[in-house]
Amino acid sequence: MIRWASEQGFVAELEGLYEGWRPDAAPAPMVLVANASLAAELGIDPTWLASSEGIAAVLGSEAPPHPTVAQAYAGHQFGNYSPRLGDGRALLLGEALTTDGRRVDIHLKGSGRTTFSRGGDGKAAVGPMLREYVIGEALHALGLPTTRALVVIATGETIARDRPLPGAVLARVASSHLRVGSFQYAASSGDTDLVRRLADHAIARHYPQCALDPEPYLAFLEAVSVAQARLVSQWMAIGFIHGVMNTDNMAISGEAIDFGPCAFMEVHDPRAVFSSIDHSGRYAYGQQPGIAQWNLARLAETLLPLLHHDTQEAIRIATEAVENFAGVFRHEYLSRMRAKAGLVDPATPGEEAAAIVNGFLALMTSHRVDHTLGFRSLSGVLRGQSGAFEALFANNEDVRAWRDRWLTAVPADPSMRLGIADGMDAVNPVHVPRNHLVEEALAAATAGDLAPLEALVDILRVPFERLPDDERYLLPAPDGWEGYMTFCGT
Ligand code: AMP
Ligand code: MG
């Protein structure tokens, strides 16, 4: 059974931000993957979830005891404003409670056309929905806040893409589906009361401490800013490129959401882009902090009437809050990068640590070193086993100079170095979703073989430790994969 919340807060409090809607029926539903650990958090028996009763509940064909709705939102897509996006192929099935009392959304993707579909078919293909499952589980295991797939169900339909593909519905769990674009939609309706209700709802749901602040809406903007700084600093640390950081794909909760053309970077390169439609590199790896701040500025604009009755004063307050993102981000980012490089001695000044980290990133770029392998190789050096490091970095003047400077900042005591090396291995993964393996697993699944996908996810659930027989999961794509692209035609 799904433990629905008795109060469906979004529907109860935010009329004007949704349309009641029912999902399409799936002609021949078949569970492709069911997320047992996430089901357990929700108090759902995984056997029930895979039963015909469970499938009917999670697809919404057996209606829950409350309305299911398509959520309205606007958004800047690649910088261009669309006033009406909304759930064009998705529905909020409802708010459920976890066994430890947290409120989460269960949301369908690929459930058919809605009032927001514009020209789209409302459907989703098996591959992209399984990609959401793989990426969400990987990020979760790496310790990032993220939406996660509860179940992916093949519908039995064939859908038209560049070629005919099997259709699927994803049921995903998120702490909510409030987006920057939700605020943009409310604000562009011109109804300040709706913006206020939305902000109050978001505060109660995600940042309850802000309600006690003398300036609750400013506190809210600052809290979202901190949550985004944390999230994006974690992306940067693990080499993750979201790929479509449109304002409608930025969650107010600070969870990672809507994985389309996302990828883990291999060669460390600030300009790395994988999305086939991102021609200008707007959402390249190194652009992500700046884009997060740009998106926060769009959120801040929607809150102006709540920040001060005098518009000029409201703009001043909002601008200051948005500008503060840069400092918060720098702090979050540097503390994560220090941990990755073993620069945990508080005696090392921040500027020196930043210079060492930046020097290492520049070396990885110039030597074309894989981000994941590069960071993981550093702990070996501290253990007196430099083989992995030396295999990645040619022994030249730059490398020697960097290594000397780095080692000067790490305590010389061998037993302390061993402890630091263990700490580094706890934050520098060995297992990330390698693009060629994700593609291989999705292609096999689309053709009906789920075994490679299951094996991949099992490995990704243990990101920081070597496992028996994991060799093929460790390395970047073989030659010929350079220029790898993922596609938005999801
Ligand atoms: P996304 O790129 O998935 O974040 O989606 C951006 C917008 O396009 C959202 O409003 C989606 O609901 C809508 N959309 C994406 N794919 C489809 C589709 N196949 N049918 C209808 N709407 C879609
Ligand atoms: Mg989206």
Residue 348 Cβ contacting ligand 1 at under 6 Å = no
Spatial CB neighbours of 203, under 8 Å, sequence gap ≥ 6: 210, 211, 216, 220
Quick check: helix, strand or coil at residue 251?
strand
244 Cα–ligand 2 center, Å: 8
CA 124 to ligand 1: nearest atom: 19
Of the candidates 143, 191, 171, 216, the one whose C-alpha atom is nearest the C-alpha of residue 32 is 171
Residue 120 Cβ contacting ligand 1 at under 6 Å = yes
Q: Whose CA is nearest to atom 6 of ligand 1?
A: 85
Q: How far apart are CA 409 and CA 345, in angstroms?
A: 8
Residue 121 Cβ contacting ligand 1 at under 6 Å = yes
State the DSSP H helix or E strand holding residue 34, giving kind and residue range, or none if neither: strand 30-34
249 Cα–ligand 2 center, Å: 5
Residues with a known catalytic role: 248
Query: Are 110 and 57 within 8 A, CB to CB?
Result: no
Query: Are 85 and 17 within 8 A, CB to CB?
Result: no
Q: How far apart are CA 378 and CA 406, in angstroms?
A: 10
CA 249 to ligand 1: nearest atom: 4
88 Cα–ligand 1 center, Å: 5
Query: Are 248 and 175 within 8 A, CB to CB?
Result: no
pLDDT, tens digit, 9 for 90 and up, residues 230-259: 999 999 999 999 999 999 999 999 999 999
Residue 83 Cβ contacting ligand 1 at under 6 Å = no
CA 490 to ligand 1: nearest atom: 16
124 Cα–ligand 2 center, Å: 13
Spans in the chain with pLDDT lower than 70: 480, 482-483, 486-490
Indicate the residue type of 181: G
Residue 117 Cβ contacting ligand 1 at under 6 Å = yes
Residue 268 Cβ contacting ligand 1 at under 6 Å = no
- 355-367 b/e (C-beta count within 10 Å ≥ 16 → b): ebbebbbebbbeb
pLDDT, position 488? 45
Q: Which among 84, 87, 117 is the best mutation to test ligand 1's pocket, defined by most ligand atoms within 8 Å of the CB?
A: 117
Query: Are 34 and 46 within 8 A, CB to CB?
Result: yes
CA 123 to ligand 1: nearest atom: 19
Q: How far apart are CA 277 and CA 285, in angstroms?
A: 15
Residue 87 Cβ contacting ligand 1 at under 6 Å = yes
Q: Which among 17, 71, 89 is the best mutation to test ligand 1's pocket, defined by most ligand atoms within 8 Å of the CB?
A: 89
State the DSSP H helix or E strand holding residue 150, giving kind and residue range, or none if neither: strand 148-160
Query: Are 337 and 234 within 8 A, CB to CB?
Result: no
Per DSSP, the chain holds a count of helices (H) and strands (E) of 17, 11
| pTM of the full structure | 0.97
Among all ligands shown, which has an atom nearest to the Cα of 91? 1
Spatial CB neighbours of 190, under 8 Å, sequence gap ≥ 6: none
Alpha carbon 239 to its chain's center: 12
Q: Whose CA is nearest to atom 22 of ligand 1?
A: 88
148 Cα–ligand 2 center, Å: 14
Q: Nearest 10 degrees: CA dihedral of 186, 91, 122, 490?
A: 90
State the DSSP H helix or E strand holding residue 107, giving kind and residue range, or none if neither: strand 103-109
**Vertex 116: Cα angle to 58 and 155 (nearest 5):** 35
Q: Whose CA is nearest to atom 14 of ligand 1?
A: 88
Q: How far apart are CA 145 and CA 77, in angstroms?
A: 23
Quick check: helix, strand or coil at residue 185?
helix
Among all ligands shown, which has an atom nearest to the Cα of 71? 1
Residue 86 Cβ contacting ligand 1 at under 6 Å = yes
Q: Which among 85, 92, 185, 242 is the best mutation to test ligand 1's pocket, defined by most ligand atoms within 8 Å of the CB?
A: 85
pLDDT, position 479? 76
Residue 89 Cβ contacting ligand 1 at under 6 Å = yes
Structure tokens at 320: 């200051």
Residue 258 Cβ contacting ligand 1 at under 6 Å = yes
Residue 249 Cβ contacting ligand 1 at under 6 Å = yes
Q: Whose CA is nearest to atom 10 of ligand 1?
A: 85
Among all ligands shown, which has an atom nearest to the Cα of 70? 1
Residue 123 Cβ contacting ligand 1 at under 6 Å = yes
pLDDT, tens digit, 9 for 90 and up, residues 94-126: 999 999 999 999 999 999 999 999 999 999 999
Among all ligands shown, which has an atom nearest to the Cα of 490? 1
Query: Are 247 and 180 within 8 A, CB to CB?
Result: yes
283 Cα–ligand 2 center, Å: 15
86 Cα–ligand 1 center, Å: 8
Structure tokens at 107: 């949301």
